[in-house]
Amino acid sequence: MALERQAGAAYIKVDDEQLALKGEIEIDPTESTREPIVGLDGVHGWKETPKAPSITVKVTKTKGLSLKRIAGWTGKTVTAELASGTVYVLADAFQAGDLKLNGDEGDVSITFFGLTCREL
């Protein structure tokens, strides 16, 4: 079995705008979460609750990237391309949570939630 690249260079786009990915990217493509239902006599089964898939990235705050503009992002398509060749597409995405610029490092973390996340 030949070894293959699993991590390293990655890219993030919001619609057609590529962001300067600083080095952190987390993808949660799942659209539901399961939790056990447990009674005094053991496990009875599980419950499944819908949730929004998400992509969180840390990007460099470049001159053309406005935090106010990011805060207004809704209805976007967020595409993450990983070094392994796997591509995730988060549809009808919106930015949520705080946008805090780290002045020392010049970066900001952005979390996107969407309706669906396809793995290509």
* 1 domain-assigned: no
Note whether residue 2 is domain-resident: no
Domain count along the chain:
1
Range in 7-11, 18-22, 66-70 with the lowest mean pLDDT: 7-11
Mean pLDDT value across the chain: 94
- Written as one string, the DSSP assignment of 21-75 is EEEEEEEE--SEEEEEEEETTEEEEEEEEE---EEEEEEE--TT--HHHHHT--S
Whether residue 5 lies inside any domain: the answer is no
**pLDDT for the residue 4:** 73
Element (H, E) at 7: none
- CA dist., res. 98 & res. 2, Å (int): 42
Question: Is residue 4 included in any domain, yes or no?
Answer: no
Tell me if 40 is assigned to some domain: yes
Residues spanned by the domain of 67: 11-119
**pLDDT, tens digit (0-9, with 9 covering 90-100), for 45-59:** 999 999 999 999 999
Residue 97 lies in a domain: yes
Q: Is the model's pLDDT at 6 over the cut of 80?
A: no
> Is residue 3 in some structural domain?
no
Position 3 confidence tier, pLDDT thresholds 50, 70, 90: confident
What's this model's pTM, rounded to 2 decimal places?
0.88
